[in-house]
Structure 1
Amino acid sequence: MLAATARVTGDLDVAEECVQDAYVAALDAWTRDGVPHKPGAWLTTTARRKALDVLRRDTVFRAKMPMLVEDEAAAPEEPDEEAVADDRLRLIFTCCHPALAREAQVALTLRLVCGVATGDVAHAFLVPETTMAARLTRAKKKITAARIPYRVPGAAELPERLDAVLSVVHLLYTTGHTAPTGADLVRADLVDRALHLARTLHALMPDEPEVRGLLGLLLLTDARRATRTDADGRLVTLEEQDRSRWDRAMIDEGRRVVLDAFRTGRVGRYALQAAIASLHAIAPTYADTDWRQLVGLYDELLKAWPSPVVALNRTVALAMVDGPAAALAEIAALERDGRLDGYHYLPAVKADILRRDGRTAEAAAAYRAALDLVDNDAEREYLNRRLIGTGPPAPP
């Protein structure tokens, strides 16, 4: 709806207001007349009509009061719709405007275009929700103050916006893959949307190695979706998943795409993450995973993307290669660093390594710390199960 309306208004803020007005109109009309056969089409048509009304009023205003309106704001440029055919992907490229800071581009696009709640966007950036809300407000104000128009970028402008677009699609998938909040582990709507965008982006820019890397990463990761929870919706770890139920066709496709990315010789963070996912996908069992090669890939990934989250993920592989002590030393360094404060996976990973090392009392304390931070019900239930497992043995 937002994409279709923005194409009419040429202004993202005005388009958002028209979409909101359409929802208000629906509350009234549908309560009175019933829900229409195609509610999505009804809402989109209503929003577009309201947008046209705004444009007509603006045209009348400009005709009657030309001295109060600057010429440069007369009308939006005609969008280059040939460059990006998909409505949603077009809007993502448009929102990832280089006049905004990279984080603002990605956060605003996730919120407005991808429908990710502000709290979940904040979780993706490891900041409090109030902080993210303020950043989104500042970004929207900058768009207005700097008169950044809604203009679909031409083909020549796509490469400079590509990295931000890839970040949007990756974070959209990550938010759906393990939902930050709610009862269910997976939000299938976000996962499927991200996969569609990755495939569409690959069709648009098939020779870009990082586009290939992102698509490969999503395919290889999503191939495990059916095994990540049991029949009751409880989380099942990678170690415990039934690998015979993994989607082998999706794994094969993902590996082909990743190999194509590596053949270009220009490997970035998405291709490296995809290579890590590929090693997990081909391992016959968890224990038989090539952990040493994984540590090497994580080392390369940290050079390309020096993220504390990557460093934390590396500790899991490191524990399998060099033992718990080496991994726990790295985790201690991450705790001192402070950037992962409030990130529940830091104490959760620590707890699991301590549990494997037989240090059950310390593991229990770390599980409790993780429970204080987690907001997803499926993850909370899993951590509770682990915590119970670290208790003293039952009397004979």
Structure 2
Amino acid sequence: MMSRSWRHLCRRYSQAVTFRTTESSPALHNEKQIGLFYSVDKDLVKQLYGHGGFPRSFMKQTKTFTETTIMVRQPALDMMDCIKATDFDKPINKYVLYGEKGAGKSMTLAHLLHFAHTEGFLIVHVPWVSEWLRRVTRMKEMSNSPTREGLVDLPLDAAAWLLHFKNQNQALLKSGNLTTSEQYVWSKRERTAAGAALLELLELGISRVKFSCDVVHNLLREIKRLSSAKQCKTFVAIDGFNGFFYPLTRLRTPTKRTVKPEEVSLATSFLELTKPDWNNGLVVVTADQLAVPDDHQESFLPKYLLYKQGFEHLDPFIPIEVTRYTEKEFTSCAAYYRDRLWLRGPPETETELKFTSACNPYRFMEQCAPL
């Protein structure tokens, strides 16, 4: 166990470096805060990221640190500047976050989700595409779509996503200003009337799981219409978007046939949402090597990861690279880890870690764990 004197020395060392900012609103972050950590309120963490949005390793770290903090980095600030300068009367702009494994793409997206929330956007967030297409568990339920021939439904995954969407947009949905444009008939006894609140449509999809995939499809259509009609501004965020275009999934039909991504109803619904046929919104996606199997990771560039189909689907888009830590970011992160007692040992330890981790945020975090 670390002695009190050594623990005190670590804290004094970390306090010599400024690694926190008291500015908790992403809308007010600027270049002065680059490399600094800001705290996110516990209730907001539960609302925005309770069903996904942070990497699993980061979530474990927040429990250890007893707080949730996000570092302000240049790619997120660049995105925020682009969003603030957007002409929302024109078709949606599309952005692709890319970079090597562990560089912080998902964390940058999490920062942008917080920004979108503070700016009053309706958030449409897919935490990780591969959860649908590549993570197969005993609970995975799959069935043929009753309304779209040739497609398969993932009703439990769709219902879980609807609950995620509901939690992230509580205030906007409860206002009652977002309503359906047409009537939806689900069965002889169940229907959603035209002019009903979107919340009513959501509740049906959550409680009646067999209809959840169709509810998602119609909900996304309504969101495009509402945004174009200036009823809301929509922020679409999809992590691991290139997973939609990898030729194979781990889903199998009863006859053992492999299901292709384009045969999954959830995939087709979200691909429709990322088409530039609506306005008053934007789309931010990540192209991530972890979204596809290990044997397809020769490059982290979007043109490689998205394949020809995905690249053409998003084109034109604005690429934003998420790089390794800069010198300032690494020093700030090391000071934060010392403050949380995640990093211990003499100051010289950081010099070695800087080289062994190559300033990769994930590798640095992992290497500090046993120290």
TM-score (norm 2): 0.28
Greater fraction of residues in strand: 2
Q: Greater relative contact order (Cα 8 A, min sep 6): structure 1 or 2?
A: 2
